[in-house]
Amino acid sequence: MKAALWYEKKDVRVEEVEEPKVTSGYVKIKVKWCGICGSDLHEYLGGPIFIPVEKPHPLTGNVAPVVLGHEFSGDVVEIGKGVTNIKVGDRVAVEPMVVCGKCPACKEGKYNLCSSLGFHGLCGSGGGFAEYTVFTEEYVHKIPDSMSYEDAALIEPIAVALHSIRQANFNTGDNALVLGCGPIGLATIECLKAAGASLIIVLQRKSIRQEYAKKAGADHVLDPNEVNIAEEVKKLTGGVGIDFAFDTTGAKIGFDIGIDSLKYAGTMVITSIWEGEVNFNPNVLVFSEKKIVGSLAYRHEFPATIAQMSDGRIKTEGYVTKKIALDDIVEEGFGTLTGPDKKKHVKILVTPDKSLLSDCKE
């Protein structure tokens, strides 16, 4: 079968690989759609970050090259011995967590903080940029008949945003600043709307993404090249500052503006993955009791995300800006998202089945 493999930074290849076999407790999935994630882009431009290179991953035992892709949907075509909750023919999405189940974090139910954490599509256990993949039954979720496979491929990034809002301890009526409106930023706006935010302000430089943010529900979209964001945020909040800031930029400008925009005792949640370090003076936290909270992936959020997407509380219109074949992932996928047109796009979906592209409307 065909699959897209990461060999090293800026080296992704579509190659023929052996079709995976089902083992006990696992299910085999024929992939319909898989999204290109910001994490995939970080690995492409600056990796390895999560991908094991010299030292094998402790759970998979694998090193690069690895099959990429962790935001995907498909059909179950085979089940292994002992599988009871999933059957052949089920329409599913995968929560791509590769965890040990034995460490203190896993035993507390915080499996996203597993001491041996890996992600399907990054750690060598297979991935969604392939015709088929296999994964443990525990993290395979059925999707409603009313949900399209394209929407199901968006469950994973939206769950990332939902987890960040839960990490913030966000309450109905609170206000928020979202730093950046790529896929996770836009998902964060949607989740904040569903959570009952009273005011949503977004930082985004001038591009089509400003319009995407407005369509997603942002009340104000501010360009840091045109205004002092922190000052504008204070004006919009009666001189107080924002309750919560959500950084999805992974850049110092987002970090600094987020902290400066917070009210006293406000909280900044960092959802972004960083390729380098950032410096700041801890006094900005001490003197006003502001907080910085990390948010990694998700845990137990897939069912809630599926429910809120299904009943329309979280919308996906306009989220997918391009659909491509697996054969074209390097040029049309990674090339587009790292090239001059990158800010025109939110989410690019990839399919190993070219027949699905005949019905696509980009």
pLDDT reported for residue 343: 86
The residue to which tokens 């094991």 are assigned: 52
Mean pLDDT of 173-177: 98
362 has pLDDT over 80: no
161 has pLDDT over 80: yes
CATH class, domain 161-294, is alpha beta
Mean pLDDT of 334-345: 92
Query: Could you tell me which of 196, 75, 186 has the C-alpha nearest to residue 140?
Result: 75
pLDDT reported for residue 361: 46
Q: Where in the chain is the domain with CATH 3.40.50.720?
A: 161-294
pLDDT tens for each residue of 29-87: 999 999 999 889 989 998 899 999 999 999 999 999 999 999 999 999 999 999 999 99
Higher pLDDT, 17 or 274: 17
Higher pLDDT, 318 or 91: 91
Q: Where in the chain is the domain with CATH 3.90.180.10?
A: 2-154+319-359
Mean pLDDT of 325-342: 96
Taking all residues of the chain, what is their mean pLDDT, rounded to a whole number? 96
Reported confidence tier of residue 275, pLDDT bands at 50, 70, 90: confident
The model's pTM: 0.94
pLDDT reported for residue 359: 61
Question: For residues 187 and 202, is the Cβ–Cβ distance under 8 A?
Answer: no
Residue type, 12: V
pLDDT tens for each residue of 197-211: 999 999 999 988 999
Mean pLDDT of 325-353: 95
CATH superfamily of 2-154+319-359: Medium-chain alcohol dehydrogenases, catalytic domain (3.90.180.10)
176 has pLDDT over 70: yes
313 has pLDDT over 50: yes
pLDDT tens for each residue of 140-155: 999 999 999 999 999 9
Cα–Cα distance, 154 to 306 (Å, whole number): 10
pLDDT reported for residue 360: 52
pLDDT tens for each residue of 111-126: 999 999 999 999 999 9
Mean pLDDT of 10-15: 97
